[in-house]
Structure 1
């Protein structure tokens, strides 16, 4: 009997998370109410309060639910990376696990992609997102500098911010590309989008590496001239 209650509680929690994920992704955190989530999940409002206490805690549970799996896949991908990878390989093992989940993980992952795109643009959620992705964030920052020693820590960090913005935009799969191309191309073709994003990002980090090295050369020249 107890096992049945535990399963029922877990199923209720999952139903609430699924409903909230779809509603928040389609609208926004501020627009969707707890009553909306209760209606979508077909549960009493009191059960949402019982499981999550507040809308903010419900939202954090949404971020945490899929971030754990994504982080796990990224850790495994980095662990399997060959010795002395180049920038493209480092970026690929960071991005591809997310791509695979978006393609194979079911419709919930598409909603999660839109949700992250929303939160990534909102200052109020910066600490939340950083907290749940900090481990793999630190891994890729170290890997980028190791793959391209000309990258300063500042350049890698600034580049990472742009990387995350592009990643969120790509996996949100909105209709911008379709609109500007007059429906010749679709943002919803994630594999095609990835074919363009990976070399674009690789080139961006190569450019950052070159720019990082330039001030060092200038400083070294000035130091040499001053000591002459």
Structure 2
């Protein structure tokens, strides 16, 4: 009798585990679908029914997981935000330690940008959709709220290092410099295909390796120019 009870308990546990795994799988499918749709159409261009249709479930199921569209939008934003924020914060901390009190603009930008670009290079279509989603979000009031919530600490950490690299620069010039950096990054992540057409295929929107090889150096030159700083011979 005891053996039968134990066996029944084991079966129940197995069923619970399977249900938990199924819920987790469904959640990932919903987030993937929402991420893709938000990346294409923005917050206002997507409904919960659109997401449900892409997943292949009834729209009432989404209400089981999320109270409303904004809750879903937040979940999509947060899922990958914590990954890129942690990676970039670690990269900036590691860079500042390695710089030994003498950080450079280009070095700080490489730590900030390259770490993020590596996710889009190595992370597959999901991460690329998230990049386009972030580009959409950063240009909307709804998205700006989440950008403030999740990304302000990492941006201010970069600004802190840039101030050390450019000690004589006006503070507003450093903030404007960051503004231009993030604008270029968001346009790149949007993958509009415009550069493909303009260059007649010579450059591709999805070529993040090419972006990584150029962006930090290009932006560092801009920082130095607006801050009236000449490039040291040994800067890297």
Question: TM (normalized to structure 2)?
Answer: 0.84
Q: CA deviation at 1:36?
A: 1.1
Q: Deviations over 1:172-194 (max 9, x none)?
A: 22211111122232222111122
Q: Deviations over 1:196-219 (max 9, x none)?
A: 2222100111122218xxxxxxxx
Q: CA deviation at 1:113?
A: 0.9
Aligned partners of 1:46, 1:20: CA distance in 2, in Å? Answer: 15
The match for 2:46 among 32, 39, 43 is 32
RMSD of aligned alpha carbons: 1.6
- Native 8 Å contact 1:71 1:133 kept in 2: yes
Residue 74 of structure 2 corresponds to: 60
Residue 138 of structure 1 corresponds to: 156
Whether 2:130 is the aligned partner of 1:116: answer no
- Native 8 Å contact 1:145 1:151 kept in 2: yes
Q: CA deviation at 1:136?
A: 0.6
The match for 2:110 among 87, 92, 101 is 92
The number of residues matched between the two structures is: 211
Aligned partners of 2:159, 2:118: CA distance in 1, in Å? Answer: 22
Residue 10 of structure 1 corresponds to: 24
- Native 8 Å contact 2:43 2:137 kept in 1: no
Q: CA deviation at 1:2?
A: 2.9
- Native 8 Å contact 2:191 2:205 kept in 1: yes
Question: TM (normalized to structure 1)?
Answer: 0.87
Structure 1, gaps ≥5 residues long: 212-228
Going from structure 1 to structure 2, the CA distance change for 1:151 and 1:6 (only over 3 Å counts) comes to farther
Greater shift, 132-141 or 65-74, is seen at 132-141
Q: CA deviation at 1:123?
A: 3.2
Aligned partners of 1:7, 1:131: CA distance in 2, in Å? Answer: 30
Q: CA deviation at 1:13?
A: 1.0
Q: CA deviation at 1:86?
A: 0.6
- Native 8 Å contact 1:177 1:187 kept in 2: yes
Greater shift, 190-199 or 53-62, is seen at 190-199
Residue 206 of structure 1 corresponds to: 224
- Native 8 Å contact 1:174 1:188 kept in 2: no
